[in-house]
């Protein structure tokens, strides 16, 4: 783990991508599925293959979303110069949740399944631009964080209001979204997330060396040819773009953006090229694994899956504490 952190992260990421579809409340025999698939891809599928094809989009969504969240978290922590920053620090997730809730709670506003995600995206992007406007006026990171905390409260209250007004029968669906909405059918959602991810990751990776200078000291970065103002603007935009698209596709899954960058930093150091790539790989592996666990646990005889947001926090929390304790000693 120490010597080649990126290689290990890549291995984890690939393994999770290939193993996770096999895991679930119904276990499947990979041999049967593969043989069937190779023999006659278009022929009538058995239960094995059909289950696999149901799980694949979900696994892909978790993989992409987990990776993107971790990279966005790493970028936010550097730009806000705060180890507590997450992709959601600036209010993106509560705004996205508000948008999705509006559509879920009042289905007359639109009967399409895709609409909650679209509303979440619109609200999250709206907040992103609001935050950028604040960033232009307030040169200090803590002003931005205060604005983000305020926006989180504001939209949190709006979310509660929607819950309060909503039909009680719909609360279960709302809560389900709040705890992670990875249970997608078909490849539309993961594929529609892909372009956002590509753009966001490209914008961040392209400026990775400027991130290095900024992380060290913004003042010194300016003396070394980095336009700190522009980096902050572009970086916040890219990270919020990632967070907005992921909230819209996966629901407000927390903790990955905080946990993964800290874990990766311990291995890769402060070179952001490696930090970003490592965070993506490990974040992808973590959320995919957490989702596989969520799908296969059947607690208290309930056959339905546990929401993934609960698993990421329950597994990630103790791990993060262990990481902090280990570093302190």
What is the spatial distance between Cα 9 and Cα 317, in angstroms, rounded to a whole number?
20
For residue 136, state whether it binds other proteins (rule: CB under 8 A): no
What is the spatial distance between Cα 245 and Cα 92, in angstroms, rounded to a whole number?
10
For residue 6, state whether it binds other proteins (rule: CB under 8 A): yes
Nearer to other proteins, 223 or 321 (CB): 223
Among the listed residues 278, 281, 308, the one whose alpha carbon sits nearest the alpha carbon of residue 64:
281
**From 181-189, 240-248, 270-278, 298-306, span contacting other proteins (CB under 8 A):** 270-278
Contact 200, 68 (CB under 8 A): yes
- State the number of CA atoms in the 13 A half-sphere of 270 facing the CB: 12
Hunting for tokens 């730009």 — which residue is that? 79
Q: How far is the CB of 253 from other proteins (least distance, A)?
A: 24
| Lookup: tokens for 200 | 């966001």
For residue 89, state whether it binds other proteins (rule: CB under 8 A): no
Residue from the set 269, 299, 318, 322 that interacts with other proteins by CB under 8 A:
269
Nearer to other proteins, 11 or 220 (CB): 220
Nearer to other proteins, 225 or 301 (CB): 225
Provide the 10 A C-beta neighbour count for residue 138.
Answer: 14
Nearer to other proteins, 19 or 208 (CB): 208
For residue 83, state whether it binds other proteins (rule: CB under 8 A): yes
Residue from the set 49, 78, 89, 249 that interacts with other proteins by CB under 8 A:
78
Contact 234, 210 (CB under 8 A): no
Q: How far is the CB of 274 from other proteins (least distance, A)?
A: 8
The CA-atom distances, in angstroms, between 223 and each of 211, 214, 226, 228, 272 are 14, 11, 7, 10, 19
The CA-atom distances, in angstroms, between 75 and each of 50, 55, 275, 287, 326 are 39, 31, 9, 19, 24
Report the Cα 100 to chain-centroid distance in Å: 16
Nearer to other proteins, 264 or 311 (CB): 264
Residue from the set 163, 176, 233, 271 that interacts with other proteins by CB under 8 A:
271
For residue 318, state whether it binds other proteins (rule: CB under 8 A): no
Scanning residues 177 to 236, which ones bind other proteins (CB under 8 A)?
Answer: 208-209, 212-213, 215-217, 219-220, 222-227
Length of the chain: 329
Residue from the set 53, 82, 170, 296 that interacts with other proteins by CB under 8 A:
82
Contact 233, 141 (CB under 8 A): no
Residue from the set 181, 274, 288, 292 that interacts with other proteins by CB under 8 A:
274
For residue 317, state whether it binds other proteins (rule: CB under 8 A): no
Among the listed residues 242, 235, 237, the one whose alpha carbon sits nearest the alpha carbon of residue 218:
235
Among the listed residues 96, 108, 105, 119, the one whose alpha carbon sits nearest the alpha carbon of residue 168:
105
Nearer to other proteins, 82 or 192 (CB): 82
**From 123-131, 186-194, 262-270, 288-296, span contacting other proteins (CB under 8 A):** 262-270
Q: How far is the CB of 258 from other proteins (least distance, A)?
A: 14
Among the listed residues 237, 251, 307, 287, the one whose alpha carbon sits nearest the alpha carbon of residue 96:
251
Contact residues for other proteins, defined by CB under 8 A: 6, 77-78, 81-83, 208-209, 212-213, 215-217, 219-220, 222-227, 265, 269-271, 273-274, 277
């Amino acid at each position: 783990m120490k010597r080649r952190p990126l290689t290990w992260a890549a291995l984890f990421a690939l393994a999770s991508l290939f193993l996770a579809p096999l895991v679930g409340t119904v276990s499947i025999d990979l041999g049967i599925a593969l043989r069937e698939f190779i023999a006659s891809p278009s022929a009538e599928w058995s239960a094995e293959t059909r289950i696999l094809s149901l799980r694949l989009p979900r696994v892909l969504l978790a993989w992409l979303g987990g990776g993107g969240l971790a990279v966005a978290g790493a970028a936010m922590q550097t730009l806000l110069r705060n180890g507590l920053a997450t992709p959601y620090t600036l209010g993106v997730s509560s705004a996205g949740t508000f948008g999705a809730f509006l559509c879920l709670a009042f289905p007359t506003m639109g009967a399409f399944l895709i609409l909650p995600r679209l509303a979440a995206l619109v609200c999250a992007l709206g907040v992103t631009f609001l935050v950028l406007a604040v960033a232009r006026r307030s040169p200090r990171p803590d002003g931005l964080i205060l604005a983000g905390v305020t926006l989180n409260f504001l939209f949190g209250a709006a979310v509660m209001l929607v819950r309060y007004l909503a039909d009680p029968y719909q609360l279960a669906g709302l809560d389900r979204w709040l705890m992670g909405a990875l249970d997608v059918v078909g490849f539309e959602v993961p594929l529609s997330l892909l372009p956002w991810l590509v753009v966001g990751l490209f914008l961040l990776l392209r400026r990775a060396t400027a991130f290095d200078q900024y992380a060290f000291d913004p003042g010194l970065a300016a003396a070394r040819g980095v336009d700190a103002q522009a980096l902050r603007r572009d970086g916040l935009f890219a990270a919020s773009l990632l967070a907005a698209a992921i909230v819209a596709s996966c629901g407000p899954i927390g903790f990955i953006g905080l946990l993964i960058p800290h874990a990766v930093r311990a291995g890769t150091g402060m070179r952001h090229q490696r930090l970003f790539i490592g965070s993506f790989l490990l974040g992808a592996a973590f959320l995919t694994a957490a989702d596989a666990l969520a799908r296969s646990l059947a607690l208290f005889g309930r056959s339905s899956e546990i929401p993934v947001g609960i698993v990421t926090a329950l597994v990630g929390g103790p791990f993060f504490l262990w990481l902090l304790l280990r570093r302190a000693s």
